[in-house]
Amino acid sequence: RKEVEQDPGPFNVPEGATVAFNCTYSNSASQSFFWYRQDCRKEPKLLMSVYSSGNEDGRFTAQLNRASQYISLLIRDSKLSDSATYLCVVNQGGKLIFGQGTELSVKP
Amino acid sequence: DAGVTQSPTHLIKTRGQQVTLRCSPKSGHDTVSWYQQALGQGPQFIFQYYEEEERQRGNFPDRFSGHQFPNYSSELNVNALLLGDSALYLCASSLVGTGDFTEAFFGQGTRLTVV
């Protein structure tokens, strides 16, 4: 079993759609949680950190459920520029463990 | 403020050869981690350097080694290259210091092709 598992994707959605990504992690000792975005052939960039209380940044909302070891990302009102691969990431003592990523393609 | 810089950006090597990749961390960061990203996969942790020592290591063979210099820059060395070593190699810098994790910033990566 992979340490971090994500929806396989790809997700193909029209502009304006709401899309949700889910992720589970296996190590309950994981300390902090993130969503990274990676554009084609580029480096990953931090999209947002994820907290148990939930956090929102504009159209993006992230949620963590420690009891279920589950992380989610919701994107509202999708834009063409949101097309990318979204990586679920957990921190274990400074070591980042990545999911395989979920590809999102937003179409006009 | 320069971010994380890696060199070279692309590299083609032959099986059995050795390669050295380089990374300069973001200004003010003291920790460098290396990741391997195969096509269609998420990055896999190779190892992390802090205070010129390997602090953590992932499940990679001894053919993968590294070094951190006093100015915090780092090198990743891979010996006896295999076709399966073809990947994007990412360097990430962070300020770990006391052990509390801060945001990791990634370099643009080195794309290694082994033929």
The answer, for A91 touching chain B at a CB cutoff of 8 Å, is yes
Tokens at residue B54, please?
């390997």
Pairing of strands A84-92, A95-98: antiparallel
Contact A95 B56 (CB under 8 A): yes
Q: What is the pLDDT of residue A2?
A: 87
Residue of B nearest to A31 (CA): B101
Q: Cβ contacts (< 8 Å) between A101 and chain B: which residues?
A: 41-42
Q: Most A CBs within 10 Å: which of B6, B32, B101, as the mutation test of the A interface?
A: B101
Closest CA of chain A from B98, distance in Å: 11
**At residue A15, what is the residue type?**
E
pLDDT, one tens digit per residue, over B80-109 is 999 999 999 999 998 875 555 667 899 999
The answer, for A44 touching chain B at a CB cutoff of 8 Å, is yes
pLDDT, one tens digit per residue, over A50-86 is 988 889 999 999 999 999 999 999 999 999 999 999 9
pLDDT, one tens digit per residue, over B48-78 is 999 999 999 999 999 999 999 999 999 999 9
- Asked if A58 contacts A43 with a C-beta cutoff of 8 angstroms, the reply is no
Number of Cβ pairs < 8 A linking chain A and chain B: 57
The answer, for B58 touching chain A at a CB cutoff of 8 Å, is yes
C-alpha A47/C-alpha A32 separation (Å) is 14
- Asked if B110 contacts B89 with a C-beta cutoff of 8 angstroms, the reply is yes
Integer CA distances (angstroms), B83 to B16, B36, B46, B59, in order: 9, 14, 17, 18
Q: Cβ contacts (< 8 Å) between A100 and chain B: which residues?
A: 40-42
Residues in contact with A54: Cβ distance below 8 Å, sequence separation at least 6, in sequence order: A61, A62, A63, A64
Predicted confidence band at A34 (pLDDT cuts at 50, 70, 90)?
Answer: very high
- Asked if A98 contacts A4 with a C-beta cutoff of 8 angstroms, the reply is yes
Q: Is B109 exposed, middle or buried (0-12, 13-18, 19+ CB in 10 A)?
A: buried
Percent of chain B having pLDDT more than 90? 84
User: Which DSSP state fits B84?
Assistant: G
C-alpha A98/C-alpha B73 separation (Å) is 24
